[in-house]
Each structure stands twice: as structure tokens, then as C-alpha cells.
Amino acid sequence: MVSKKNFLIKNCLVSFSTAFILLLRNSFLLIFYPYKTMRKIAIETDFWQIFLIFFFIFIYFKFIYFLRDNSYPASFTFFIFLFNFFIMIFFFYFLVRFFGQKPKLLPFVFTFSYSLLPTFFWFISVSFLYLLLPPPRTVSFLGQFFSIFFITYSLSLLLWKVILFYLALRFSTKLDFYRIIYMITLFILWFIPYSVLLYYLKIFRVPFI
């Protein structure tokens, strides 16, 4: 009985460490070779990687709970994030079925989870910058210099996010460029009012998606 339990723990540890190494590898490769890497991620089946991504995001929500004033509990924010994430996935999944395709759900989960990396990097860096250089910025030379740097950094991550988001849709739906743009437009049409609602409810100032 004990040996079986030990075997299970060992198995879990091995799976966990392998997933962690794969997550690091894929994250680095998404920076340098987003197309090739996302293509590989679309055929991935290791759920530990998804678990790790969500675990790090949960840790992030725990961390900002102590930074933000009048904040909701981290578990609640994380639940809302999960809700947004899966609503988005199911929206695209059923939209593709509307186009007459029969996609698998798994590539959506994997590719969209990895497309959260730019979002995660941006949010974590902004929260650290909030501690190091608390806002508001001034119009002094250093303030303006920092503003240019910050906007450049944010825009770069935003464009990386757009690339990964497009590739996630491309490899999970296997649709062409026009249909993907059409799907993204439909998504934006309901997601912007929804983000405004989340903003007014003080859950997310910038949507974590």
C-alpha cells in the first residue's frame, strides 16, 4: 500500500517537473519562434502545463491582493478570470462549429493558455513597477523618459499577445485569415462592453485575458 502511494507521489513529481521544464521551454520559444512553438502547443496533451500556468496566475492574484486597496479576495478574482477564459474558449469553439468545422476542444485550451503569457508578464511587471516606482508619473525629464519606455514595453507585449492570440486561433480552428479576423471582431464586440462592466465592478481595471 505504502509503495503504491510512493509510486503515485513519484509519478506526480516527475510529471510536475517535466511539465515545468516544458513550460519554461515553450515560454522561451514563444518569444523567439512563436509560429513553430504554437503549432507544437496545439498538439500538446500534457495537462500539467495548463495546471502550472493557472497556478502561477493564482499566485499572481494572491500577490496583488495585498497591493490593491478594497480588493476582492484572490480566489474570487481567479474564479472570474477562469470564467472569462472558458467563456472565451467556448465562444470561439462554438463559432467554429457554426462555420461547419468540427474542432477539438483540447487545442483551444492549450493554445489559449499559452497565449496568456504576455498578459501574465505585463501584469506581473506592472505590479512590481507599482512597488518600485509608484504612480502618478510627473512631466519631468525622467517621468517622460519612463513613460516612453513603459509605453514601448506595453505595446510590444500587446503586439506579442495579438500574434499569439491569432496563432492560437489559427492552429486550433485551422481556419483562414479572413475568418479568424471575423471571429476576433465578433469577440471584441461583446468583450469590450463586458470589460467595461468588470471595470465598474472593480474586478479588473485592465482585462486579464
Partner 1 sequence: MKLYSNRFKKYINEVFFITPNDLGFDSLTFWFKKTTFFLKNMPFLLLIPFTLIFALLLHFIFGKYLVWLTSLLQYGF
Half-sphere exposure of 135 (CA within 13 A, CB side): 10
Residue 127 interacts with partner 1 (CB under 8 A): yes or no: yes
Mutual angle of helices 47-65 and 74-98, in 10-degree steps: 140
- Would you say 1 or 139 has its CB closer to partner 1? 139
Cα separation, 21 vs 25, in Å, equals 6
* Residue selected from 54, 58, 72, 146 as contacting partner 1 according to rule CB under 8 A: 146
Residue 202 interacts with partner 1 (CB under 8 A): yes or no: no
Residues 162 to 191: which contact partner 1 by CB under 8 A?
Answer: 163, 170-171, 174, 176-178
* Residue selected from 51, 91, 150, 194 as contacting partner 1 according to rule CB under 8 A: 150
CB 136 within 8 A of CB 10: no
Shortest reach from residue 10's CB to partner 1, in Å: 29
Task: Give the cell for residue 76.
Answer: 474570487
Cα separation, 62 vs 57, in Å, equals 9
Residues 87 to 126: which contact partner 1 by CB under 8 A?
Answer: 123, 126
Task: Give the cell for residue 166.
Answer: 491569432
CB 103 within 8 A of CB 97: yes
- Would you say 53 or 157 has its CB closer to partner 1? 157
Interface with partner 1 by CB under 8 A: which residues? 31-36, 39-40, 42-43, 64, 67-68, 123, 126-127, 129-130, 133-139, 143-144, 146-148, 150-152, 154-156, 159-160, 163, 170-171, 174, 176-178, 205-206
